Each structure stands twice: as structure tokens, then as C-alpha cells.
Amino acid sequence: MKCKEAKVAFSQHLDGRLGNIELERLDDHVHSCASCEEDFRIMEVSSRALRSLEPTPAPPYLAERAFRVALSSKRAARFSGQFVFVARRTAIAAALAAMGLWIGGGLTTGLRETEPRMTPVEADPVEVAIYIWTPGGILDD
Amino acid sequence: MSSRVLQAKVDAREAFRDLVENTHSRVYRVALALLQSPHEAEEVVQETFVRAWEAFHELRDPSATTSWLLKIAGNLARDKRRLWRRRSNEPFDEATIEPLRSLLSPEGTIESPDEAVLRKQRADSLRRAVEGLKESHRVVIVLREIEEMTYEEIASALSIPVGTVESRLHRAREKLAKKLRRLVEREKTP
Ligand SMILES: [Zn+2]
């Protein structure tokens, strides 16, 4: 192992990303190269010192604020508005198709069945989607 | 409104709230590492989650969602940073170098009247040395060593392959070691 390769390997080692065989080769090099030995000592000490620092804490109010701003942002509202428009159109189309099927089903099954095949659903998936994507509601209720 | 519809609405918002709570500090740390400005980092967090809510229906896989968020935050922060650049070029005085000398001395800790004070001084000096590195090196060192991010998270935040994170980190560590060595070997000024 040469110095250049050893430096890459040592950095990987600091992050626990070096396999046993490579670690042995690195060890051999370090014991025979004073320059690398000193460099690695400094790298290790400084790395340990940096890691002993606490990760920067986010301000305590940030999560709640980011959540509220996201849900009430005008852009999200505009996006949602487009979604609702498309969804309503789809819902109307779906409703018409369902009625057609229901009537059609009723006609074809005639008197053989006492109940229509298609019963109205409690919550239309499209309607659910509209509510999910309408900002403001729950939070500001 | 039927109860099922209401429930779906509540569920989506609660899922989004969980996402914000679980990921906002990592998003913040990426933005802060790139911008070095708490105020601007907060703006980036805000904008990242506005975009996340817009795209929430597409974000299903939690692990992919985190890297998506970090990538967005990294891009937003880099866009902001293009406007200006800061690199610490303040000269190091003895008061800054001395804690580094004691940190890096092969004998370990030199006389320490107050261990906590010394640790703080060392950390401050070390931070300053890191801040003097060139931008690409500074950022990987901060994200990996201080903010404790994985290679994969750093790769997402910087929009670079994991292999590049690895090579950048080793070069950054080498530069930092050289810089520290130069500093502590400098003759003491009276
Ligand atoms: Zn060597």
C-alpha cells in the first residue's frame, strides 16, 4: 500500500467503512511510514474532537412552523385548487358512468334481482382525495 | 362531511406532520452547513416542506422521502448561496492556536484547569480551522463529522454520487490535518 492509497483507506476507516483485510494492509503501512502515522494521528484526534460536538439543534419552533406554513401556503393552495378542479371533473364523469351502469344494470337484470348491483358508496375516493388536498381546513377549523 | 372523508383528511395531515417532525432537523442542518446562516437555513426548511406537501401524494417510501427532502434542501440552499459566498479568512492568533496545540499534542491533554472550558476552546478553534477550508471540503466535513450524516444522506444533499462523497471526505480530512499541523507547528508569537 502506498501513501496515497493509505490516506483514502484511513478516511474510510474513520467512518467504519474499511474491511478487515484492508485494515491490516493499512496497519502495515502506518507502522512503516512516519509521515502517514503523524497525519493519521492528527486526523483521528481532530475527527474525534469534531464528533464530540453536538449536532446543531434546529430551533424548537421550526417543525410546527414549517408544518403550518406548508399547509397554508398559497402555492400549495393553488396546486390543490387545480387538483380539485381536475378531481371534480373526474368525479362528475365517474358519477355519470356509475349512474349509467346502475340504470343499465337495473335494466338488464330486470325483475330477476330485488336490489341493484351497484349501491352508492359511502365515501367516493375522489371526494376523499379532494379533502386530503384542500389545505387550511382541519388546522384552521 | 362523512366521517371516513374526515378521517382520510386527518390521516394525511398527521402523516405529513410526522414527516416534518422526523426530518426537519436533518433538513435544517444541511441548509445550515451550506449557508452558515440560521435565518436563511430556516427559510430553506420552510420552502422544502412547502414542496414536500405539494408532492406529498407521490412520497410513499420513507427512506426515499428523506433523500428527496435533503436533495431539495441542498438545491435550494445552493441557489441561495450563489448570490454571495463567505469563507473565513481571519488570521489565527495564539488564543485560537493554543487549544489546538493541546488537542494535537502527542502527550494528550496539557494542564487543564477546567476541562469543560478547554474542550470548548478546542472545539471553537477546530471549527474555525474547518471554516477556513474551501467550500466543498468544509461542507462534507461539517455534514459528516459534526452533523453525523451518512454518506448516502450527504450524497443526496449535495447531489453527488456516494463515491464522490468518499473521495471528497478523504481530501478534506487531509487538508484539515495539514492545516492543523501547520498551525500548531507555527512558532509562538510573543
Ligand atoms: Zn505513508
Please give chain B's pLDDT, 190 residues, in tens. 678 877 877 888 999 999 999 999 999 999 999 998 999 999 999 999 999 999 888 877 877 899 999 999 999 999 888 655 555 567 777 777 888 887 777 765 555 567 777 888 888 888 889 988 999 999 999 999 999 999 999 999 999 999 999 999 999 999 999 988 888 877 665 5
Question: What's the CA gap between B135 and A40, in Å, rounded?
Answer: 23
What domain range includes position B40?
A: 3-83
Total domains in the fold of chain B: 2
B143: domain CATH number? 1.10.10.10
pLDDT at B32: 94
pLDDT at B187: 65
Which among A42, A56, A123 is the nearest to B29, CB-wise? A56
Query: Across the interface, do B166 and A43 touch by the CB < 8 Å criterion?
Result: no
Last residue of a domain, one of B83, B114, B148: B83
> How far is Cα of residue B71 from the mean position of the Cα atoms in its chain?
13
pLDDT at B68: 94
pLDDT at A1: 85
Q: How far is the CA of A23 from the centre of ligand 1 (A)?
A: 14
Residues B122 and B79 both lie in one domain: no
- Residues of A within 8 A of B130 (CB-CB) are 50
Residues lying with their CB under 5 A of ligand 1, a single-atom ion: A 3, 33, 36
Query: Across the interface, do A70 and B50 touch by the CB < 8 Å criterion?
Result: yes
The per-residue pLDDT for range B53-68, each reduced to its tens digit, is: 998 888 778 778 999 9
B13: domain CATH number? 1.10.1740.10
The per-residue pLDDT for range A73-119, each reduced to its tens digit, is: 866 655 544 444 444 454 555 555 555 555 444 444 433 333 333 33
Query: Across the interface, do A11 and B144 touch by the CB < 8 Å criterion?
Result: no
Q: How far is the CA of A102 from the centre of ligand 1 (A)?
A: 81
Residues B53 and B103 both lie in one domain: no
pLDDT at B1: 60
Question: What's the CA gap between B148 and B144, in Å, rounded?
Answer: 5
ipTM: 0.82
Q: B159 — phi, psi (to 5°)?
A: 50, 50
pLDDT at A100: 53
pLDDT at B95: 78
Question: What's the CA gap between B81 and B75, in Å, rounded?
Answer: 10
Nearest to B130 by CA among B152, B100, B101, B158: B100
pLDDT at A122: 41
Residues B172 and B109 both lie in one domain: yes
User: Would you say residue A130 has pLDDT above 60?
Assistant: no
One-letter amino acid for residue A58 of the chain: A
- Indicate whether B89 belongs to any domain: no
Higher-scoring residue by pLDDT: B55, A64: A64
Last residue of a domain, one of B27, B60, B83: B83
Query: Across the interface, do B170 and A70 touch by the CB < 8 Å criterion?
Result: no
